[in-house]
Amino acid sequence: MSNDKDTLREEYPEDLINSGIRGKYTKNYREGTNIVLIDPDLHKLFPDSEAVNRALREYVSTKRTAT
């Protein structure tokens, strides 16, 4: 960046900016993530992790019994 001028907006108080913790999620990121993006039409059917996990467990249990 060639310009050293502070470009933060006035509505961001300095104490809020300084209260952040650098690297807060680094450990979790390094251990790996299991984030899956769900298409909007499916998000209506599976609005949260609990709904997704329930559906996947049901799917897996039906596949186990079918084989």
- 25-40 residue pLDDT tens: 888 888 887 888 899 9
Cα–Cα distance for residue pair 63/50, rounded to 1 Å: 20
Domain count, the chain: 1
Reported confidence tier of residue 67, pLDDT bands at 50, 70, 90: low
Domain of 30 in residue numbering reads as 14-66
Indicate whether 36 belongs to any domain.
Answer: yes
pLDDT one-digit tens code per residue, 33-61: 788 889 999 999 999 989 999 999 999 99
What local confidence, expressed as pLDDT, does residue 42 receive?
95
pTM value? 0.48
Give buried/exposed letters for 2-39 (b at 16+ CB in 10 A, else e).
eeeeeeeeeeeeeeeeeeeeeeeeeeeeeeeeeeeeee
Question: Which candidate, 55, 59, 34, 29, places its Cα nearest to that of 43?
Answer: 55
Structure letter (DSSP) for residue 16? H
Indicate whether 8 belongs to any domain.
Answer: no
Indicate whether 3 belongs to any domain.
Answer: no
